[in-house]
A and B are shown apart, each in its own frame.
Chain A
Amino acid sequence: MKKIIKIMSIALVLVMMLAFFAGCKSDTNSGGTGETLIKIGGIGPTTGKAALYGQAVKNAMEIAVEEINAKDGNVKFEVKFEDDENDAEKSVNAYNILKDWGMQILCGTVTTTPCIAVSTVANNDSVFTLTPSASSTDVIGGYPDADGNMTIARKDTIYQMCFSDPNQGTASAQYIKEQNLGTKIAVIYNNSDAYSTGIYQKFQAEADKLGLEIVSVKTFTDDSDTDFTSQLTDAKNAEADLLFLPIYYTPASLILAQAKQMSYAPKFFGVDGMDGILSLENFDTSLAEGVMLLTPFTADATDELTVNFVTKYKDKYGDVPNQFAADAYDCIYALYNACVNQGITADMTAAQISEKLIAEFSSSDFTFSGLTGENMTWSTSGEVTKNPKGMVIQNGVYVGL
Chain B
Amino acid sequence: MTFLSNLINGISLGSVYAIIALGYTMVYGIAKMLNFAHGDVIMVGAYASYCTMIYLGWHPLLSILFSIVVCTLLGVIIEAFAYKPLRRAGSLAVLITAIGVSYLLQNVALLIWGSTPKVFTSVVNFEPLSFFGGKLTITAESIVTVLACIVIMICLTLFTQKTKIGKAMRAVSEDKDAAELMGINVNTTISITFAVGSALAAVAGVLLCSSYPTLVPTTGSMPGIKAFTAAVFGGIGSIPGAMLGGILLGIIEIFSKSYISTSLSDAIVFAVLILVLLIKPTGILGKKITEKV
Instruction: Choose among A49, A51, A229 the residue with the greatest number of B CB atoms under 10 Å from its CB.
Output: A229
Bound Cα distance A355, B5 (Å): 59
In the complex, which residues of chain B have a beta carbon less than 8 angstroms from the beta carbon of A263?
Answer: 128, 130, 134, 137
In the complex, which residues of chain A have a beta carbon less than 8 angstroms from the beta carbon of B119?
Answer: 253, 280-284
Contact A229 to B12, CB < 8 A, known contacts A224-B266, A281-B116: yes
Bound Cα distance A347, B134 (Å): 69
Q: Which of B118, B121, B222, B257 touches A230 (beta carbons < 8 Å)?
A: B257
User: Among residues 246 to 293 in chain B, which have CB atoms less than 8 Å away from a CB atom of chain A?
Assistant: 253-254, 257-258, 262-263, 265-266
A367 contacts chain B at the CB level, 8 A cutoff? no
Minimum C-beta distance from B16 to chain A (A): 9
Residue of A nearest to B110 (CB): A47
Bound Cα distance A261, B118 (Å): 19
A97 contacts chain B at the CB level, 8 A cutoff? no
Is A261 a contact of B116 with CB atoms below 8 Å? no
Contact A230 to B223, CB < 8 A, known contacts A237-B2, A281-B118, A282-B54: no
Interface size of B by CB at 8 A reads 39
Is B117 a contact of A250 with CB atoms below 8 Å? yes
In the complex, which residues of chain B have a beta carbon less than 8 angstroms from the beta carbon of A218?
Answer: 257, 262
Q: Which of A47, A230, A233, A280 touches B115 (beta carbons < 8 Å)?
A: A47
Contact A191 to B139, CB < 8 A, known contacts A226-B222, A253-B119: no
In the complex, which residues of chain B have a beta carbon less than 8 angstroms from the beta carbon of A219?
Answer: 262-263
Residue of A nearest to B261 (CB): A219
How many A-B residue pairs have C-beta atoms within 8 angstroms? Tell me.
Answer: 99
Minimum C-beta distance from A348 to chain B (A): 37
Contact A233 to B222, CB < 8 A, known contacts A227-B13, A250-B117: no
Contact A223 to B13, CB < 8 A, known contacts A263-B137, A280-B119, A282-B120: no
B9 contacts chain A at the CB level, 8 A cutoff? yes
Bound Cα distance A268, B117 (Å): 21
Minimum C-beta distance from A218 to chain B (A): 5
In the complex, which residues of chain B have a beta carbon less than 8 angstroms from the beta carbon of A250?
Answer: 117, 214, 216
A102 contacts chain B at the CB level, 8 A cutoff? no
Is B212 a contact of A254 with CB atoms below 8 Å? yes
In the complex, which residues of chain B have a beta carbon less than 8 angstroms from the beta carbon of A254?
Answer: 212-214
A-B residue pairs in contact (CB < 8 Å), sample of 10: A49-B218, A218-B262, A221-B266, A223-B266, A227-B13, A227-B212, A229-B12, A253-B117, A254-B212, A262-B137
B residues engaging A (CB < 8 A)? 1-2, 5-6, 9, 12-13, 50, 54, 110, 114-121, 128, 130, 134, 137, 139, 141, 212-214, 216, 218, 222-223, 253-254, 257-258, 262-263, 265-266
